[in-house]
Amino acid sequence: MLSLFRNHKSKAKEGFFQKNGATILEQLIHDFNGNCNPIQLYSAEELKKATNDYHSDDGMRYDGWNFGVYKGVHGGREILVKIFGERSNYRSSEFLIATELAVSSNMSNHKNVLKLLGCCLETELATLVFEFPAKGNLPRHIYGDNAQSLPWKTKLKIAIEVADAVSYLHHGSSKVFIHRNIRTENIFLDQDCVAKLSDFQVSLPIPLDQDHVLSECLSFLGHLSPEVLMYNRYTEKSDVFNLGMIICEILTGKKSYELLRLRSSGDSKELENIMEGNLLHESNMRQVTECSKLAVRCLDSDPNARPTAQEVSQTLRSIKRFQL
The β-bridge partners of 233 are 214
Q: How far apart are CA 270 and CA 274, in angstroms?
A: 6
Q: Do the domains at 2-131 and 139-320 have one common CATH topology?
A: no
Task: Name the least confident of 4-13, 39-48, 171-180, 259-268.
Answer: 4-13
Contacts of 153 (CB under 8 A, 6+ apart): none
Predicted confidence band of residue 245 (pLDDT cuts 50, 70, 90): very high
Report yes or no: 13 and 5 within 8 Å, Cβ to Cβ: no
Ranges of each domain in the chain: 2-131, 139-320
Q: What is the pTM of this model?
A: 0.89
Q: Where are the alpha helices (DSSP H) in 112-235?
A: 139-142, 152-171, 226-231
Contacts of 250 (CB under 8 A, 6+ apart): 138, 142, 155, 158, 159
- Give the alpha-carbon dihedral of 261, 277, 269, 243, to 10 degrees: -60
What is the structure's pLDDT at 313?
A: 97
Q: For domain 2-131, give the fold.
A: Phosphorylase Kinase; domain 1 (3.30.200)
What percent of the chain has a predicted confidence (pLDDT) above 70? Answer: 76
Higher per-residue pLDDT: 157 or 268: 157
What percent of the chain has a predicted confidence (pLDDT) above 90? Answer: 48
The CATH superfamily label for domain 139-320 reads: Transferase(Phosphotransferase) domain 1 (1.10.510.10)
The β-bridge partners of 84 are 67
Q: Cα dist. 97→36, 62, 91, 258, 267 in Å? A: 15, 18, 10, 31, 40
Query: Would you say residue 281 has pLDDT above 90?
Result: no
pLDDT in tens, 165-185: 999 999 998 889 999 999 999
Contacts of 164 (CB under 8 A, 6+ apart): 110, 112, 313
Average pLDDT, the chain: 83
